[in-house]
Structure 1
Amino acid sequence: MARIGVLGFLHETNTFAPDVTGLDRFEEADAWPGLTEGDAIIEATRDMNLAVSGFIAAMRAAGHEIVPLLWCSANPSGPVADAAFEAIAARIETRLRGQALDGLFLDLHGSMVTQSLDDAEGELLRRLRGVTGPALPYVAALDFHAIVTQAMVDRTQAMVAYRSYPHVDMAETGQRAARMMQRLLAGETFFAAWRKLDFLVSMPWQCTLDGEPAGVLMAAAGALETDDCPEVQFIPGFPLSDTPASGPSVLAYARNLEQADQAVRTLAAEVEARRRSFTGRLYAPGEALDALAHRRPGRYILADTQDNPGGGGSGDTTGTLRALLDRGIGQACVAVLCDAAFAREAHTLGVGARIDRPLGGRGFPGEEPVPGPFEILSLGDGRFVGTGPFYLGCRMDLGSMVRVRRDGVDILISSRKQQAADQAMFRHLGADPRDYRILVLKSSVHFRADFAALADGILMVKAPGANTADLHDLTFRRLRPGVEIL
């Protein structure tokens, strides 16, 4: 039996977002647990679709002892405050010191940027290696959107990334990490090969459910794996990170370097051959509604991708909501808009009352609130369990929530921002997404896991927000030379 340390420190950093991510954002719960230390981690993450959950369950089933250290995450947002990174890193180091461990599992995102660090994961690994030394087996789980760096590769024995977007395989990725850890504990050695690709892919076009290109490439990576080369990965990266290392990566681990190199060369060629396939259409809100007027009757989803909290959006922009109201389109629902002050006042007034407070429009430059009045339809405390494939088992804590209606449009409102990627968000407020003709979901891709089957069509909407969908709208200043913006 081995003693395996477990830790997590996750943040997807949108360097273009206007906010700074402080320590409080890691301490508070949202879809995932707030900052948790010690044995409490096991219960706090149990049965969730998280890499740490899958890893712990797999290693315990194999008879190993888990030593939980610290786990935390914050919703995607602007750069992490240096003080927050330093505080959390110091707490991890303190818990790691003096532990007699046979291995260390790290649940990381892979694209954390702080006010001073381009590669926060690489720096965290450097500090932890200063505590444990270079020989202790480190296995890390990474997000599908991780930005792989040489420092990360050099300071771990293995890294495994999610293979799906929507990320329905996070717990499964933890299980893959556990298999790699057990092979390392058995004395096996793996050589890493990797390559950084010189282009950026916008988030909406990274979806693996659509077949080409991302789904096909994930299948191609899996087809290259053997017992001697157990991990071959295409990691598309997070395009809203303006750092020298940004861009997709191909990564492989094998018993010898030649095998790993060959796998990387083969998969990289497959990716390059599909470079021009990472594209799609974006609609302005009015264009999307006009397009629906010419489609057959049914239920349609407008993905409000640029205000996706899962990519750094504020979750409170009102562009698509305004378009619905301006056109007098009813039987529609907008979810989930974040406005804590609005939700507090609604709870004071109660169901059936009218609230005349302006809604949203404060978290992104140039946006304005939507004026009332609104009818209060239902209230919730924001605590419920995710039931869809992405948020499965997650014990949500979104603060006070309310469902209101204005001019035939329902709006689901939370006190903490969270992308609309689970039907449980509707049910918590007494709503059924099947009752609406138009669903406006503040999400880019994750919503597809639980909502796509309900829709007769999906349109990507380019309304205001920090999760920029057309990368040509951004000014990148720090990318290495030669990186193409797709």
Structure 2
Amino acid sequence: MTRIAVGGFLHETNTFAPTKATYDDFVHGGGWPAMAQGAEVLRTMRNINVGLAGFVAQAEANGWEMVPTISCGASPSAHVTRDAFERIVKVMVDGIRAAGPLDAVYLDLHGAMVTEHLDDGEGEVLARVRSAIGNDLPFVVSLDLHANVTPDMVEHADALIAYRTYPHVDMADTGRAAARHLALLLRTGQRFAKAFRQLPFLIPISWQCTDDQPCKSIYRKLAALENDAVPTLSFATGFPAADFRDCGPSVFTYGKTQADADAAADNIAALIESHENDFDGRIFTPDDGVRYAMELATRARKPVIIADTQDNPGAGGDSDTTGMLRALVRNNAARAAIGVIYDPASAKAAHAAGVGATVTLALGGKSGISGDAPYKETFVVQNLSDGQFIAPGPYYGGRDMDMGPSACLRIGDISVVVSSHKAQLADQSMFRYVGIEPTEQAILVNKSSVHFRADFEPIAEQLIICAAPGAMPADTAALPWTRLRPGIRIKPNGPAFIPENKSRSTG
């Protein structure tokens, strides 16, 4: 029987964010399933939208035996601590070494991990695994669409295969695609030639959505180029908040010959570069966005939905800034709801007060973001929750969620979801779990950039992007870059990065 070692370790690192990812964050998972080790990995990774879950299903259909090591993820944040990285990778690599005879290895990684001691987290993971298994064993990896792919990652894996949707509704599908490519490697014994291209400009995440142009047509073309000569190719739009040399979008392809791989990579890279002007769009200030939403709501039949994009916990924000809440209150918005504001102390105070009580709080604003502060006001406790629920929408795909003790607070005609754990508001259940029916609101403010669209676009009158103070600027040129590769444009058609001869040692 074919034996495959499997594991997963996912983190998207915003090096400008306020809070690091600790080992305990990976144990809990945030919006990811809780950490699992050994046989528990295969019990956890079933029927959910995660790359490893898709691989498991396809591997079982192929009749493969899987040797599970560890699976874990944490909400995007600042650097992964050295302690967390080393403990998790040790379990993974030791598990592979102890697995006995293997035919291949598959890992589900993000591709944009930066640690306290390493710029290229995934490159180091892949190097250690390759050292453990030798050069002959096939090694395939699934990646997030936002991966900042590096030369080391390409070198150490036989194939990197990235998601093709944002919102990421194809995470499990990408795991299945990795299993199909691995089956091809095992059946033919062939190693495919690799081509890797790094593109010359950063792409803001708000304009990476694959439901809209230009990404919609780019990914359609990408899929059409796959054939026997080039069985897989990927375009990773990159995560433009990691201050290191290899941050940015890339293309990586695998062909029967080097000429096949190069031609496909050059074709896609040229297509992406031809759309540089299109990776941009309108972003509202908080007050302008709220007033526009209120005007639309006077004639809308469905909610107007505002993305609080700069405090997106899916991009490293702490999900606790108060700029959009202040704008709702300041403009007397009606039938409005905002979530999720991460504030364990306020959630605890609401639970102590009880439903129907009034509580005076310094809500949110605790992550030290410039231009933001706690919102000191009196709220009515509308509803309480233990934070346990299932998120059935297309992004979370039926995951068990644990937001900790949570509350629905009310101020005027505005409802506020407050939680004790943070996760991106990308599922309607994240309003419902505290008693807010999203379809009955005139305005919804979601701390998310794009993932929310998968579940909310069907109920939306219109989508608006607002930029209140937060850890993930919608304009990538606003970030204080110091370590990008020389010459990359820090936004579409923006200025080229020029280093100041500063360096950081990596271990």
Q: What's the TM-score, normalizing by structure 1?
A: 0.98
Q: Given that residues 29 and 396 in structure 1 are in contact (C-alpha distance below 8 angstroms), is that contact kept between their aligned partners in structure 2?
A: no
Letter in 1 for 2:201: F
How far residue 354 of structure 1 moved from its aligned partner, in angstroms, is: 1.6
How far residue 349 of structure 1 moved from its aligned partner, in angstroms, is: 2.1
Residue in structure 2 matched with residue 207 of structure 1 by the alignment: 209
Name which of structure 1's ranges 362-371 and 42-51 shifts more when overlaid on structure 2: 362-371
Aligned to 1:402, what secondary structure does the other structure show? strand
Tell me if 1:411 matches 2:412.
no
Q: What's the TM-score, normalizing by structure 2?
A: 0.94
How far residue 345 of structure 1 moved from its aligned partner, in angstroms, is: 1.9
Residue in structure 1 matched with residue 374 of structure 2 by the alignment: 369
Q: Given that residues 10 and 74 in structure 1 are in contact (C-alpha distance below 8 angstroms), is that contact kept between their aligned partners in structure 2?
A: yes
How far residue 294 of structure 1 moved from its aligned partner, in angstroms, is: 4.3
Aligned to 1:18, what secondary structure does the other structure show? coil
Question: 1-side partners of 2:405 and 2:452: how far apart?
Answer: 22
Q: Given that residues 364 and 466 in structure 1 are in contact (C-alpha distance below 8 angstroms), is that contact kept between their aligned partners in structure 2?
A: no
How far residue 248 of structure 1 moved from its aligned partner, in angstroms, is: 0.7
How far residue 291 of structure 1 moved from its aligned partner, in angstroms, is: 2.4
Question: 1-side partners of 2:436 and 2:42: how far apart?
Answer: 33
What whole-Å deviation, never above 9, does each CA across 1:124-148 have from its counterpart, x for those lacking one?
A: 1111122111111111000000011
What whole-Å deviation, never above 9, does each CA across 1:227-274 have from its counterpart, x for those lacking one?
A: 221112211110011111111111111111111111011111111110
Letter in 2 for 1:335: G
Q: Given that residues 106 and 139 in structure 1 are in contact (C-alpha distance below 8 angstroms), is that contact kept between their aligned partners in structure 2?
A: yes
Tell me if 1:137 matches 2:138.
yes
Residue in structure 2 matched with residue 119 of structure 1 by the alignment: 120
Residue in structure 2 matched with residue 324 of structure 1 by the alignment: 328
Question: 2-side partners of 1:27 and 1:145: how far apart?
Answer: 23
How far residue 290 of structure 1 moved from its aligned partner, in angstroms, is: 2.7
RMSD: 1.2
1:139-178 alignment, distance < 5 Å = 139-178=140-179
1:50-69 alignment, distance < 5 Å = 50-69=50-69
Letter in 1 for 2:358: R
Residue in structure 2 matched with residue 84 of structure 1 by the alignment: 84
Letter in 2 for 1:300: V
Tell me if 1:7 matches 2:7.
yes
Q: Structure 2: give runs of 5+ residues left out of the alignment.
A: 492-507
How far residue 484 of structure 1 moved from its aligned partner, in angstroms, is: 0.6
Question: 2-side partners of 1:74 and 1:289: how far apart?
Answer: 31
1:15-30 alignment, distance < 5 Å = 15-30=15-30
Residue in structure 2 matched with residue 106 of structure 1 by the alignment: 107
Aligned length, in residue pairs: 485
Aligned to 1:373, what secondary structure does the other structure show? strand
Question: 2-side partners of 1:297 and 1:120: how far apart?
Answer: 49
Question: 2-side partners of 1:452 and 1:334: how far apart?
Answer: 16
1:220-299 alignment, distance < 5 Å = 220-295=221-296, 297-298=299-300, 299=303
Question: 2-side partners of 1:324 and 1:98: how far apart?
Answer: 56
The percent identity for this pair of structures is: 44
1:36-51 alignment, distance < 5 Å = 36-51=36-51
How far residue 20 of structure 1 moved from its aligned partner, in angstroms, is: 2.1
Residue in structure 1 matched with residue 312 of structure 2 by the alignment: 308
Q: Given that residues 5 and 67 in structure 1 are in contact (C-alpha distance below 8 angstroms), is that contact kept between their aligned partners in structure 2?
A: yes
How far residue 109 of structure 1 moved from its aligned partner, in angstroms, is: 0.3
Residue in structure 1 matched with residue 398 of structure 2 by the alignment: 393
What whole-Å deviation, never above 9, does each CA across 1:89-126 have from its counterpart, x for those lacking one?
A: 11212212232211111100001001121111111111
Aligned to 1:317, what secondary structure does the other structure show? coil
Question: 2-side partners of 1:160 and 1:358: how far apart?
Answer: 45
Tell me if 1:420 matches 2:425.
yes
Question: 2-side partners of 1:109 and 1:24: how far apart?
Answer: 19
Residue in structure 2 matched with residue 378 of structure 1 by the alignment: 383
Name which of structure 1's ranges 353-362 and 236-245 shifts more when overlaid on structure 2: 353-362
Q: Given that residues 254 and 260 in structure 1 are in contact (C-alpha distance below 8 angstroms), is that contact kept between their aligned partners in structure 2?
A: yes
Residue in structure 1 matched with residue 358 of structure 2 by the alignment: 354
Q: Given that residues 138 and 182 in structure 2 are in contact (C-alpha distance below 8 angstroms), is that contact kept between their aligned partners in structure 1?
A: yes
Q: Given that residues 293 and 443 in structure 2 are in contact (C-alpha distance below 8 angstroms), is that contact kept between their aligned partners in structure 1?
A: no
Letter in 2 for 1:45: M
How far residue 31 of structure 1 moved from its aligned partner, in angstroms, is: 2.3
Question: 2-side partners of 1:241 and 1:230: how far apart?
Answer: 30
How far residue 293 of structure 1 moved from its aligned partner, in angstroms, is: 4.6
Question: 1-side partners of 2:56 and 2:446: how far apart?
Answer: 33
Letter in 1 for 2:194: A
Q: Given that residues 19 and 318 in structure 2 are in contact (C-alpha distance below 8 angstroms), is that contact kept between their aligned partners in structure 1?
A: no
Change (3 A) 1:293 1:408: closer
Aligned to 2:457, what secondary structure does the other structure show? helix
Question: 1-side partners of 2:448 and 2:162: how far apart?
Answer: 21
Letter in 2 for 1:177: A
Residue in structure 2 matched with residue 337 of structure 1 by the alignment: 341
Residue in structure 2 matched with residue 191 of structure 1 by the alignment: 193
Question: 1-side partners of 2:23 and 2:224: how far apart?
Answer: 42
Question: 1-side partners of 2:466 and 2:426: how far apart?
Answer: 16
Residue in structure 1 matched with residue 499 of structure 2 by the alignment: none
Name which of structure 1's ranges 28-37 and 272-281 shifts more when overlaid on structure 2: 28-37
Question: 1-side partners of 2:87 and 2:55: how far apart?
Answer: 25
Question: 2-side partners of 1:94 and 1:272: how far apart?
Answer: 42
Question: 1-side partners of 2:29 and 2:467: how far apart?
Answer: 29
Name which of structure 1's ranges 22-31 and 163-172 shifts more when overlaid on structure 2: 22-31
Change (3 A) 1:66 1:146: same
Q: Given that residues 311 and 448 in structure 2 are in contact (C-alpha distance below 8 angstroms), is that contact kept between their aligned partners in structure 1?
A: yes
Q: Given that residues 364 and 465 in structure 1 are in contact (C-alpha distance below 8 angstroms), is that contact kept between their aligned partners in structure 2?
A: no
Q: Structure 1: give runs of 5+ residues left out of the alignment.
A: none
How far residue 193 of structure 1 moved from its aligned partner, in angstroms, is: 0.9
Question: 2-side partners of 1:395 and 1:292: how far apart?
Answer: 32
How far residue 203 of structure 1 moved from its aligned partner, in angstroms, is: 0.5
Residue in structure 2 matched with residue 429 of structure 1 by the alignment: 434
Question: 2-side partners of 1:109 and 1:364: how far apart?
Answer: 27
